Chain A
């Protein structure tokens, strides 16, 4: 199977996704912002279509447009303090509206379907380099801003008292969410990216450990989910994104079951 170049590319991208997504996802989940992942992943489809329309790399298009949408969510927070769920509806409308309009216009230079469901066959060498660069920058940012992001998620007021520039870090975090989505979009597909971001974290949280261990377990669970999803989907000849989402749910169910048996 690994004699195929596309499988080698897909495997490397999968490893990167399994590291980056839970590193971002843990902060989203613990801030109870899981639905932001879903909103931005749908918005990323607009970035893909803009990239295809302009004959540019669609992953770069997804990264830029999703970053803008992430920043827009932060900006709109000032105006919708009491109805933050409305912000997601607004950004979702902007993203999906743009995507549908561009796809239906027939002016795209390639098919956007692969980005909806994910396809390992279409991950090219240039895509892989783009994903590698975005992943390295994003994971480095998470390491550098680890304490700031941890405290904003845990106790934002304490973070402010300690001198953390909360608004600035929130904008940087929006870009990190965008990068996780852009990295995942081609292999996993728009429709199930949010499960890559949230489900490994949900599984790791069941182990009831401290933050650092929860993060490490999230990455381990994510690797198990994504790599087994990739390998099995190859043999079953189905889209890896959808099958990985199913494995993620199954792994969570097994962990919940084992936890209940232990506590019984």
Chain B
């Protein structure tokens, strides 16, 4: 689904590189949580996969024909923008050239948000906004879902609901998921693979092995390969 080879990236285009020779391959049906310290390049990696940024060297190839993206809630949205939940989803549907209007109520019903159609998005709670963003990302029936810290600043109940939905989307609907995570417990509980980043490099490991290291050390994990 995603193949990254010898990826080097810095925002200036010169060394030192934030991403320093990353090689990774994500297969169809994987649920990968990308973890690591703040500033290690997790979100940058996501933005390279999304083609928002160009690699300084190397290549990022995504085979997905339809991608859903759930941004970091606080960074993405133009706060105070006068837009209702319906307008937000309906305009997105039209951009994707999907004729069937029912897709809006179908995706909102995943989180039981159908009663909020005419509510202004900026008046929703953090959890409701995040669920609406996930609903929007699902409008195009994506093969690949990319999320940037989906649970940051959200109450525990909403977090549980969001992760249960993501797991279902992965296991039942077969959607490949790549999620940048600070919520390590959620990453361990839900993903099929953990991609741990540190010092511009990254390594895959199983959630069980990561959990063993993480729970044993309760600190930054650097030695898992």
Which residue from A30, A153, A162 sits with its C-beta under 8 Å from B95? A162
> Which of B71-79, B181-189, B196-204, B208-216 sits within the interface?
B71-79
CB of A159 within 8 A of CB of B95, answer: yes
> Which of B2-10, B16-24, B80-88, B99-107 sits within the interface?
B80-88
Q: How far is the CB of A196 from chain B (nearest CB, A)?
A: 20
**Is there a chain A Cβ closer than 8 Å to B195's Cβ?**
no
Known: A210-B87, A210-B120, A212-B87. A158 touches B82 (CB 8 A): no
CB of A211 within 8 A of CB of B52, answer: no
Which residue from B52, B68, B94 sits with its C-beta under 8 Å from A157? B52
**Is there a chain B Cβ closer than 8 Å to A6's Cβ?**
no
**Is there a chain A Cβ closer than 8 Å to B118's Cβ?**
yes
Q: Which of A151, A153, A155, A159 has the most CB of B within 10 A?
A: A155
Which residue from A146, A151, A155, A209 sits with its C-beta under 8 Å from B82? A209
Chain B residues whose C-beta falls within 8 Å of the C-beta of A30 in the assembled complex: 78, 81-82
Q: How far is the CB of B122 from chain A (nearest CB, A)?
A: 10
Chain B residues whose C-beta falls within 8 Å of the C-beta of A205 in the assembled complex: 82
**Is there a chain A Cβ closer than 8 Å to B42's Cβ?**
no
Q: How far is the CA of A159 from the CA of B68 in the complex (A)?
A: 11
CB of B95 within 8 A of CB of A148, answer: yes
**Is there a chain B Cβ closer than 8 Å to A163's Cβ?**
yes
**Is there a chain A Cβ closer than 8 Å to B154's Cβ?**
no
CB of B76 within 8 A of CB of A155, answer: yes
Q: How far is the CB of A150 from chain B (nearest CB, A)?
A: 5
Q: Which of B77, B78, B120 has the most CB of A within 10 A?
A: B78
CB of A157 within 8 A of CB of B82, answer: no
**Is there a chain B Cβ closer than 8 Å to A93's Cβ?**
no
**Is there a chain B Cβ closer than 8 Å to A160's Cβ?**
yes
If over half of A's interface residues share one DSSP class (helix, strand or loop), that class is named, otherwise mixed; here it is helix
Chain B residues whose C-beta falls within 8 Å of the C-beta of A209 in the assembled complex: 82, 120
CB of B95 within 8 A of CB of A154, answer: no
Chain B residues whose C-beta falls within 8 Å of the C-beta of A72 in the assembled complex: none
CB of A161 within 8 A of CB of B84, answer: no
**Is there a chain B Cβ closer than 8 Å to A147's Cβ?**
yes
Q: How far is the CB of B142 from chain A (nearest CB, A)?
A: 9
**Is there a chain A Cβ closer than 8 Å to B96's Cβ?**
yes
CB of A154 within 8 A of CB of B83, answer: yes
CB of B92 within 8 A of CB of A151, answer: yes
Q: How far is the CB of B104 from chain A (nearest CB, A)?
A: 14
Closest residue of chain A to B121, judged by CB? A154
Chain A residues whose C-beta falls within 8 Å of the C-beta of B91 in the assembled complex: 146-147, 150-151
Against A, the Cβ 8 Å flags (1 = close, 0 = not) of B27-65 are 000000000000000000000001110000000000000
Q: How far is the CA of A31 from the CA of B140 in the complex (A)?
A: 26
Which residue from A153, A162, A212 sits with its C-beta under 8 Å from B78? A153
Closest residue of chain B to A215, judged by CB? B82
CB of A162 within 8 A of CB of B71, answer: no
Closest residue of chain B to A160, judged by CB? B52
Chain B residues whose C-beta falls within 8 Å of the C-beta of A158 in the assembled complex: 69, 71, 76, 92, 136
Q: How far is the CA of A63 from the CA of B199 in the complex (A)?
A: 52
CB of B78 within 8 A of CB of A154, answer: yes
Which residue from A31, A146, A162, A208 sits with its C-beta under 8 Å from B92? A162
Q: How far is the CB of A166 from chain B (nearest CB, A)?
A: 10
Which residue from B50, B52, B71, B82 sits with its C-beta under 8 Å from A210? B82
CB of B83 within 8 A of CB of A157, answer: no
Chain B residues whose C-beta falls within 8 Å of the C-beta of A214 in the assembled complex: 82
Q: How far is the CB of B147 from chain A (nearest CB, A)?
A: 12
Closest residue of chain A to B146, judged by CB? A161
Q: How far is the CA of A154 from the CA of B82 in the complex (A)?
A: 9
Q: A151-B92, A208-B120, A210-B86 are in contact. List 4 more A-B contacts (CB 8 A).
A: A147-B95, A161-B50, A161-B68, A209-B82
Q: List 7 A-B contacts (CB under 8 A).
A: A147-B95, A150-B91, A153-B81, A158-B136, A161-B67, A210-B82, A212-B87
